[in-house]
Amino acid sequence: KAGVTQTPRYLIKTRGQQVTLSCSPISGHRSVSWYQQTPGQGLQFLFEYFSETQRNKGNFPGRFSGRQFSNSRSEMNVSTLELGDSALYLCASSTDRGRDTEAFFGQGTRLTVV
């Protein structure tokens, strides 16, 4: 069974540009969540999608957005990039059968803003 796939693995962007990251969940998983990981702030929740609907959103500015497609694949977009957006962005998928269900994480996309 294939795991969660995130593309690309590495990205270098210039301040002010925008970027789109992709996440393909495990087959059959309908919930996809995104997290930002930085040395200073640790792992922070960005948003969660289920059946193409955003169900939950973290405390991030509107420059961060996402969407989910009918096949459960998800994308997140960051517009007007700032140096502070440099981070590892992790996607996680799950079956959404309860609060105790395991979230499976991808390897992440390492975004560097210069």
Partner 1 sequence: AQSVTQLGSHVSVSEGALVLLRCNYSSSVPPYLFWYVQYPNQGLQLLLKYTSAATLVKGINGFEAEFKKSETSFHLTKPSAHMSDAAEYFCAVSNCGGSNYKLTFGKGTLLTVNP
Residues found near partner 1 in the complex (CB under 8 A): 4, 6, 31, 33, 35, 42-43, 45, 48, 50, 55-56, 58, 90, 92, 94, 96, 98-108, 110
Q: Quick one: 11 or 79, whose CB is closer to partner 1?
A: 11
As measured in angstroms, the least distance from the Cβ of 16 to partner 1 is: 27
The least CB distance from residue 54 to partner 1, in Å, is: 10
Q: Are 105 and 3 in contact (CB under 8 A)?
A: no
What angle is formed at CA 80 by the lines to CA 79 and CA 82, rounded to 5 degrees? 115
- Our CB check for partner 1 shows the closer of 40 and 62 to be 40
Q: Minimal distance in Å, beta carbon 30 to partner 1? A: 11
CB of 78 to partner 1, least distance (A): 19
Specify the residue, 75 or 96, whose C-beta has the smaller distance to partner 1. Answer: 96
CA of 17: how far to CAs of 13, 40, 79, 95, 109, in Å? 7, 23, 6, 34, 17
Residues 66 and 75: their CA atoms lie apart, in Å, by 6
Rounded Cα distance between 104 and 25, Å, is 9
> Tokens 């994308």 correspond to what residue?
75
